[in-house]
Amino acid sequence: MTEGFLSLKSAHVRWLIILTFIIGLIFDSMVLLNSDLGFIPPMALLAVFYWSCRASDTTYMVSAFILGLLADALHQTTLGAHALLYIIMLFAMLRHRLQFRTYPEWQQAFIIGVYLMVYQILNYLFFSPVLSGGSYIAYWTMPAAGILIWPFLTMTLNLLTSRQSR
């Protein structure tokens, strides 16, 4: 059982990876349409984090760059700004991915929360969003939502990956 988990090749689950990225972008666009959902983390970034740790045969830097460009198009920001943020965050993740894979899921979730907090700080520095009223609470609680979402995301994708790779 663990042999298949550790030796997963991205070619075996290519369509699942692409579908996960598309669904992540759909969730990101839904968050943009409803300002009450501002606390939900960028799901495309979480998908890149998951696949970069799960399938260690590739780094997914190009995927992070493309997803960042698509996020720039969604947010109508300067082209390349989110791409740079995604690549910076993925690079930080890749530096520790083999060690990250050995941690239990609750500890992985807190590490993802730290990455998302760094993402929010960089996002705040790059884009200087106007946080008025209660929007600053939703903005800064996004890493906590990422901590809660990560175990469910990994559980779902692990289940789908184990079915797909058989």
Q: Using one digit for the tens of pLDDT, what is the confidence trace for 47-101?
A: 999 999 988 888 899 999 999 999 999 999 999 999 999 999 999 999 999 999 9
Q: How would residue 102 be classed by pLDDT, with cut points 50, 70 and 90?
A: very high
- pLDDT score of 82: 96
Q: What is the value of pTM for the model shown?
A: 0.90
Q: Is residue 142 within 8 Å of residue 123, measured between CB atoms?
A: no
Contacts of 97 (CB under 8 A, 6+ apart): 52, 53, 56
Asked if residue 113 lies in contact with residue 100, where contact means CB atoms within 8 angstroms, the answer is no
Cα-based distances in Å from 13 to 34, 58, 157, 162: 32, 13, 11, 10
Report domain extents, the chain: 2-164
Q: Cα–Cα distance between 108 and 87 in angstroms, integer? A: 19
